[in-house]
Amino acid sequence: MSLSIEMLLRQSAAQLADAGSESPQIDAAVLLCFVLDKPRSYLLTWPEKTLDTEQQAAFDVALQRRLVGEPVAYIVGEREFWSLPLKVAQHTLIPRPDTERLVELALEKIPAEPCSVLDLGTGTGAIALAIASERPDLQVSGIDLRPEAAQLARDNSENLQITNTRFLSGSWYSPLTVDERFAVIVSNPPYIDKTDPHLEQGDVRFEPKSALVADENGLADIRIISEQGRQFLQQGGWLLMEHGFEQGEVVRDILLELGYSQVSTAQDYAGLDRVTMGCWQG
Ligand code: GLN
C-alpha cells in the first residue's frame, strides 16, 4: 500500500523515536528527501503525494538502516560542513559542527598573504576544503592515512570546484618532502581513549575507530603531530588541534614542553575546551 508523504513521515518518525533516535522527525525527512531526490520544501508542499513502489522500497531500506542506528550521513552519503555539501563514506569520520570552530580559528591565524596550509587526518577533506574555499589564494594540502579517504577528499574538492588543494595519503607527515614548510597546520586527529563509554553510543559506533581512538588516553597522535610539526612549520607558523573537552590542559603542556609559544585553548560552541594552538618560532 502506498502512503502519503505526510503519513510516511509521521509513521517513520514514530518508529525512529521508539528506536532511540534523538532527532526522529529530521531523520525521517532527510531520508525521504534522499529517496525522492527532492529538497525539504517538497515534503511540505506535497504532503498528500504518494510514493511509487520503487521509492517506497528504497525508503524502507533507508529507514531500516537508520532504525538499527546507522548514521543518517552514511545512509545518504552526504553531510554539510561550513555550508559545503561533502560526500562521506564509512571509512571517514562524519564532519561535526564543532569542528567549524577549528576552521574559524585557523582562518584567524593564517597570514593575509598567500601561503601553504596543511590539514592532517583530513578524512572527507572537510577542514581543508572549508579553508581552501575561504582563501582561494592559499595552497591547502590534506593528508589521510587511508588512500580511499584521500580520494574521497579529492572527489569532494572536484565536485565543489575548489582547485587550490592537493590530497595525499600516508601516516601524518610522511607523504611530505623534508623541505616543505607550512604557515598553519590544523588537525582533528583521533583523541578518544579506547575505554571511553561514548564509543558504544549512537552514531560513533558506526564510524572508523582509526579516526576516533588513540593510545595514551587519546593523546598519542596529538603528541606525534605536535612533535613532528616543528619540522614542517615555517618560523612563526601555527599548529591548531581539536581535542576532547577534558584535554585542554594536557595538550597545552605537550605544546609548551616541545617549545611552542603563545599556547592557548579555545572553546567550542557549547563553551567546552576544544581547540589548542601554539606558535613555532623556530
Ligand atoms: N568529537 C568527536 C566525538 O566526540 C571525536 C572526533 C575525533 O576523535 N577526532 O565523537
Of 100, 94, 119, residue with least CA distance to 211:
94
- The answer to whether residue 80 sits within a structural domain is no
Q: How confident is the model over 69-119, as pLDDT tens digits?
A: 999 999 999 999 999 999 999 999 999 999 999 999 999 999 999 999 999
- Nearest alpha carbon, ligand 1 atom 9: 190
Other beta carbons within 10 angstroms of residue 163's beta carbon come to 9
The phi-psi region of residue 121 (left if phi > 0; otherwise alpha if psi is between -120 and 50; otherwise beta) is left
CA distances (Å), origin 179, targets 122, 176, 199, 238:
21, 8, 38, 17
So what's the pLDDT on residue 282?
80
Q: How confident is the model over 116-143, as pLDDT tens digits?
A: 999 999 999 999 999 999 999 999 999 9
Same domain, residue pair 59 and 125: no
Same domain, residue pair 26 and 136: no
Same domain, residue pair 53 and 120: no
Q: Residue 136 is part of a domain; what is its CATH number?
A: 3.40.50.150
- The answer to whether residue 81 sits within a structural domain is no
Q: How much distance in Å is there from the Cα of 191 to the middle of ligand 1?
A: 7
Choice from 92, 93, 205 to test ligand 1 binding pocket (greatest atom count within 8 A of CB): 93
- Contacting residues for 180 by C-beta, under 8 A, at least 6 apart: 116, 232
Q: How much distance in Å is there from the Cα of 180 to the middle of ligand 1?
A: 29
- Nearest alpha carbon, ligand 1 atom 5: 212
Give yes or no for residue 1 having a pLDDT over 70.
Answer: no
- The answer to whether residue 84 sits within a structural domain is no
Choice from 79, 81, 88, 96 to test ligand 1 binding pocket (greatest atom count within 8 A of CB): 96
- Contacting residues for 155 by C-beta, under 8 A, at least 6 apart: 87
Q: 246: buried, middle or exposed (CB in 10 Å: 19+, 13-18, 0-12)?
A: exposed
Q: Is 144 annotated as a binding residue?
A: yes
Same domain, residue pair 187 and 233: yes
Q: Which amino acid is at 273?
A: D
CB of 204 within 6 A of ligand 1: the answer is yes
Q: How much distance in Å is there from the Cα of 213 to the middle of ligand 1?
A: 9
Q: How confident is the model over 209-265, as pLDDT tens digits?
A: 999 999 999 999 999 999 999 999 999 999 999 999 999 999 999 999 999 999 999
CB of 192 within 6 A of ligand 1: the answer is yes
So what's the pLDDT on residue 264?
98
- Considering its fold, how many domains does the chain have in total? 2
Same domain, residue pair 63 and 193: no
Same domain, residue pair 32 and 165: no
Q: Residue 64 is part of a domain; what is its CATH number?
A: 1.10.8.10
Same domain, residue pair 101 and 241: yes
CB of 190 within 6 A of ligand 1: the answer is yes
Q: How much distance in Å is there from the Cα of 265 to the middle of ligand 1?
A: 17
Grid coordinates of 106: 585557523
Same domain, residue pair 144 and 240: yes
Pairing state of beta strands 116-120 and 84-87?
A: unpaired
Same domain, residue pair 122 and 235: yes
Same domain, residue pair 168 and 38: no
Q: Can you give the residue range of the structural domain that contains 14?
A: 5-69
CB of 38 within 6 A of ligand 1: the answer is no
- The answer to whether residue 61 sits within a structural domain is yes
